[in-house]
Amino acid sequence: MAFIADYVALHDCTQMTQKGQPNSIEPLVRYLKRGHPLTPLLRSWLVELLEEQAIGEFHLEYKRRPGHRKSSEGNLVDQLTYARFLELDGKRITRKLYDACWHVLASNPKHTNEMSLTIGNHLTHEQTYDIVGAEFKRASSTVKKVVLKRKKACAF
């Protein structure tokens, strides 16, 4: 049974666009990310789009992105890095957290810059980037890129 929302998502993908702008599959992606089911109507439409000899006006191409692909291990590390950032960011600094952070920072010479942690204050983004970077043996700038990339991906 098709939902009215299915037809709306399909319409949003196939409607006329302004001159020079391509159609986009993004409305369907957002629809599915929101937890709507992949109904038989949507499934058959996607299969039609992906078939080699597409019948309708539109077709999708499946091709590899240019550049270096990340390994699944790298994706897992990014996911864990982001989760740890979310866990620590803005957290109130207790004596236990203070000691744990300084232990991690002291054991990683790349992250022993002039950071001041004050018990009772909350961790700033920059402090959290440094701490998570030291925990995962990554540069703070790398942690920041991972966090921003994940936040951008979650915004859809």
For 63-101, the three-class secondary structure string (H helix, E strand, C coil) is CCCCCCCCCHHHHHHHHHHHHHHHHHCCCECCHHHHHHH
Q: How does pLDDT run across 130-142, given as a tens digit for each residue? A: 899 989 888 889 9
Give pLDDT, residue 48: 79
Q: How does pLDDT run across 62-119, given as a tens digit for each residue? A: 666 676 666 666 788 899 999 999 999 999 999 999 988 888 888 776 665 667 888 9
Mean of all residue pLDDT scores within the chain: 79
pLDDT-derived band of residue 1, with 50, 70 and 90 as boundaries?
A: very low
Give me the residue spans of the domains in the chain.
Answer: 4-50, 72-154
Give pLDDT, residue 102: 84
Q: Specify whether the CB–CB gap between 134 and 102 falls below 8 A.
A: no
| Straight-line distance from the first to the last Cα atom of the chain, in angstroms, rounded to the nearest whole number | 26
Q: Which residue has the higher pLDDT, 62 or 17?
A: 62
CB burial of 112-134 (b: ≥16 within 10 Å; e: otherwise) equals eeeeebeeeeebeeebbbbbbbb
**Distance between CA atoms of 95 and 18, rounded to whole angstroms?**
58
**Distance between CA atoms of 153 and 156, rounded to whole angstroms?**
6
Distances (CA, A) of 65 to 1, 68, 93, 115: 35, 9, 42, 39
Give pLDDT, residue 22: 63
Indicate yes or no: pTM above 0.75. Answer: no
Residue 62 identity? Y
Give the whole-number percent of the chain exceeding pLDDT 90. 26
Residue 89 identity? D
Tally of CA atoms within 13 A in the half-sphere of 135 that contains its CB = 19
**Distance between CA atoms of 49 and 81, rounded to whole angstroms?**
36
The yes-or-no verdict on residue 20 having pLDDT over 70 is no
Cβ atoms < 10 Å from Cβ of 152: 9
